[in-house]
Structure 1
Amino acid sequence: MSDASPGAARCRVCAAAFAPESDRCPQCGADPRAEACPHCRGVAGASAHPELRFQCDACGGPRVPLADDHVKRSGREVPLLQKARAAASARSVWRAAGVAASALLGFELFLFAVLLLVLGASIGLFTAGLLTMVPVAAFTLWALRQAKSRSREIAPALDAAWVSVASDVARQADGPLTADRLASTLRIAEPQAEELLALLEVNDVVRGAVSPAGEFGYAPKLRVGAARGEDRDEAAADSVAHTLAAEEEAFTEPLTQRTAHVDPAKR
């Protein structure tokens, strides 16, 4: 006889029974809402990350998790998430190059100081020092600037990916979509869900609506080209990313760091 209580779910990894509302299996720690990662294609859960918001438990790539199995993804967020991951990877490479160049510059300065003490000051020594240290210093500054530039590409790409998934949720919602419902579906806090809804309204994806019960929410707008067979190539994804990048100029921090309440009646 099974010891699982009625309504209990089973872990896909160890088959242990747990409550359906649990975030992790109490026995092995697996995420019961695991789905295929758009980067590594492995079926794994997603954990919160301070910069990427959510990352794959298997490969560490950025993810947009969905807590509702009934929502069908359009796939438009995949190239945006891949762009964010590529920017993060490139930033790591440039940072490593900058650190290595900085270490080399420090060694050259130390060697120059030793030679200066041993051989004394001379035009030849200073010329050799400049010819060896200036290129390394210039490369160090350039590598750090490249790393900073790649870092600025991450947040707009992630914002566009989250807006894309939120659009899928809004278009498939049965009735007005509220901030708390979107927050539970995307596993985020309600203030971030309110900001996502505000961005969807700005991008003409949803409009304010009132349910028969008198509850305010957002309903999707009917748009030409929003059919399931819509083209999802990288050019369209880049267009979404460009739009969100332009809107980022009106804000000073990424989406996950802005927790100001958005009052629908004031928009």
Structure 2
Amino acid sequence: MSQASPGAARCRVCAAALAPESDRCPQCGADQRAEACPHCSAVAGASAHPELRFQCDACGGPRVPLADDRIQRSGREAPLLHKARAAAAARSVWRAVGVAASALLGFELFLFAVLLLVLGASVGLFAAGLLTMAPVAAFSLWALRRAKSRSREIAPALDAAWVSVASDVARQAEGPLTAGGLASSLRIAEPQAEELLALLEVNDVVRGAVSPAGEFGYAPKLRVGAARGEDRGEAGVESVARALAAEEETFAAEPLTQRTAHVDPAKR
């Protein structure tokens, strides 16, 4: 194996030599752009997830990774990510409860069938079966509906968290921010970045601008550090969250894209 030059970048976990601009170690697979997780506080990377979009490599909680370490997070995305994780955890609990109740109902049906064969049909047997099976069936359906309800809370919370971080990137951009620049900063594809920029513009976080080179992009309406800018930014994020939640209910579609799942394909 060839020796790396003394100044070559090395993996933060196994110290293996890394290729320039490499995101992951080819030897151990560790993410090299690690940040402190808002859930477990571990300095760990984030991997793509089909539902959570990105999850912490340490605890599995939802994350919004930033590839540009010059961007200072406002931290507004943290409670939204906590909400998404809590909803996912509650959904798992209710699903487990619903499955357990369904299994109990299945056992009761089997026992009722056995008693029906042994004792024969009677009003008392059917009444006892109804009194024992109906509550279990109702509880099973209720638990599964609770799980579905908590599941619907995940996407809007994640949407708002991503919009919050996109707002941080936009406000700290040195020039007009393009979809390519936002995609690079958030480790997403350009179509998803274009959707985020459109939502930020609709909610008065950014405005269209043309750079001195003649390229169209987006510039923040209020700069980071302005006293009223922070309040406006938070209001913008909350407005986007409400808009995204309404869109989720209106379209009843799968939350934002496939691999990183940031934009609903039906809305492109």
Identify whether the pair has TM-score above 0.5, normalized to the shorter chain. yes
Tell me by how many angstroms 1:248 deviates.
3.5
Residues 132, 238 of structure 1: alpha-carbon distance in 2 compared, 3 angstrom cutoff:
farther
Tell me by how many angstroms 1:9 deviates.
1.6
Q: Amino acid of the residue matched to residue 21 of structure 1?
A: E
Q: Please list the CA deviations of residues 133-176 of structure 1 after superposition, one character each: whole Å capped at 9, or x if unmatched.
A: 00000001001100110111000000000000000000000000
2:95 aligns to what? 95
Separation in structure 1 between the aligned mates of residue 112 and residue 35 of structure 2, nearest angstrom: 57
Q: Please list the CA deviations of residues 26-61 of structure 1 after superposition, one character each: whole Å capped at 9, or x if unmatched.
A: 222111101111001111110000110000011110
Residues 224, 37 of structure 1: alpha-carbon distance in 2 compared, 3 angstrom cutoff:
closer
Does structure 2 retain, via aligned residues, the 8 Å contact 1:46–1:54? yes
Amino-acid identity (%)? 88
Separation in structure 2 between the aligned mates of residue 61 and residue 181 of structure 1, nearest angstrom: 26
Calculate the TM-score normalised by the size of structure 2.
0.89
Residues 25, 118 of structure 1: alpha-carbon distance in 2 compared, 3 angstrom cutoff:
same
Residues 152, 228 of structure 1: alpha-carbon distance in 2 compared, 3 angstrom cutoff:
same
Tell me by how many angstroms 1:87 deviates.
0.5
Residues 61, 180 of structure 1: alpha-carbon distance in 2 compared, 3 angstrom cutoff:
same
- Which stretch of the first structure deviates more once superposed, 31-40 or 219-228? 219-228
Q: Amino acid of the residue matched to residue 80 of structure 1?
A: L
Does structure 2 retain, via aligned residues, the 8 Å contact 1:46–1:65? yes
Q: Amino acid of the residue matched to residue 87 of structure 2?
A: A
Separation in structure 2 between the aligned mates of residue 91 and residue 64 of structure 1, nearest angstrom: 21
- Which stretch of the first structure deviates more once superposed, 61-70 or 4-13? 4-13
Separation in structure 2 between the aligned mates of residue 229 and residue 203 of structure 1, nearest angstrom: 14
Between Structure 1 and Structure 2, how many residues are aligned? 259
Residues 113, 189 of structure 1: alpha-carbon distance in 2 compared, 3 angstrom cutoff:
same
Following superposition of structure 1 onto structure 2, how do residues 2-41 of structure 1 map, counting pairs within 5 Å?
A: 3-5=3-5, 8-41=8-41
Does structure 2 retain, via aligned residues, the 8 Å contact 1:80–1:238? no
Tell me by how many angstroms 1:254 deviates.
1.7
Residues 212, 240 of structure 1: alpha-carbon distance in 2 compared, 3 angstrom cutoff:
closer
1:265 aligns to what? none
Residues 219, 239 of structure 1: alpha-carbon distance in 2 compared, 3 angstrom cutoff:
closer
Separation in structure 1 between the aligned mates of residue 257 and residue 226 of structure 2, nearest angstrom: 28
Tell me by how many angstroms 1:198 deviates.
0.6
Does structure 1 retain, via aligned residues, the 8 Å contact 2:55–2:63? yes
- Which stretch of the first structure deviates more once superposed, 244-253 or 154-163? 244-253
Runs of at least 5 residues in structure 1 that lack an aligned partner in the other structure: 263-267
1:126 aligns to what? 126
1:60 aligns to what? 60
Tell me by how many angstroms 1:242 deviates.
3.5
